[in-house]
């Protein structure tokens, strides 16, 4: 018996010069499913349960339908997909450990490893295959990372505190995220190979950053969630 939740996708159909949207059932691998991201070409990624009830990452296209991306051992969850169809996320390698992964249609699911700790998560990938996320270090701290095939996983460090996280990476390989400083306050940062981690001076309790659509590749937009109210921001 199929589950109660099925991934749906919206498709734009022009009508008298205005788009009209319709929904399409993307199906399931066996039980429930939900969609998490979509490319401009209509590739959808999400999660669905297999016959054993284990959550699996999937990719869907109109040509191939829903495709199981496999796992590194057990449950797998995708987080982002780029224009080339490369998918990143995390998958459990044991009952208590999970690693960031990169999936491609040619090589399947690749374990990206960690910064020396047990767990890691990949949250974004640009169209050049550069990946960012967060990983536990050898001493149990959580640091943002930058990954490429050439360099492997690079620790981006912090702004002086114990932890940091990455939220987005643009076409130039610049990373936006948050980090705690020596005063134990979280600040937004911008990181590049040339400059390292730059404190943007934005105090926050949480930050959501995304690469700007149809804007220069150095642009990020986000939402600062703090007191007394939420604040929209743009980083250029």
Instruction: Answer whether the bond into residue 79 is a cis peptide, omega within 30°.
Output: no
What the block records as the tokens of 34 is: 């939900």
Domain boundaries, given as residue ranges, for the chain:
73-235
Residue 48 has pLDDT above 60, yes or no: yes
Q: What is the DSSP letter of 3?
A: -
pLDDT tens-digit readout, 125-172: 999 999 999 999 999 999 999 999 999 999 999 999 999 999 999 999
As beta bridge partners, residue 176 has 168, 190
Q: Which are the contacts of 194, defined by CB distance < 8 A and separation ≥ 6?
A: none
pLDDT tens-digit readout, 54-72: 999 999 999 999 999 999 9
CATH superfamily of 73-235: Peptidase/esterase 'gauge' domain (2.130.10.150)
> pLDDT grade, residue 78 (50/70/90)?
very high
């Amino acid at each position: 018996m199929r589950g109660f939740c099925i991934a749906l996708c919206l498709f734009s159909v022009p009508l008298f010069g205005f788009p009209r949207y319709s929904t399409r059932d993307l199906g399931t691998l066996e039980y429930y499913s939900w969609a998490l991201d979509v490319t401009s070409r209509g590739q959808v990624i999400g999660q669905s349960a297999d016959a054993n009830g284990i959550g699996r990452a999937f990719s869907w296209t109109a040509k191939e339908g829903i495709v199981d991306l496999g796992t590194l051992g057990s449950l797998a969850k995708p987080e982002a997909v780029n224009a080339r169809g490369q998918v990143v996320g995390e998958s459990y390698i044991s009952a208590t450990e999970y690693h960031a992964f990169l999936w491609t249609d040619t090589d399947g699911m690749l374990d990206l490893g960690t910064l020396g700790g047990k767990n890691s998560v990949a949250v974004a990938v640009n169209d050049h295959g550069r990946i960012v996320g967060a990983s536990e270090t050898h001493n149990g701290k959580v640091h943002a990372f930058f990954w490429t095939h050439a360099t492997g996983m690079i620790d981006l460090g912090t702004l002086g505190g114990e932890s940091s996280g990455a939220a987005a990476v643009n076409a130039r390989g610049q990373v936006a995220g948050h980090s705690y400083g020596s005063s134990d306050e979280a600040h937004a940062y911008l990181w590049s190979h040339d400059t390292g981690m730059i404190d943007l001076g934005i105090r926050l309790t949480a930050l959501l950053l995304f690469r700007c659509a149809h804007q220069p590749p150095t642009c990020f937009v986000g939402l600062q969630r703090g007191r007394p109210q939420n604040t929209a921001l743009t980083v250029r």
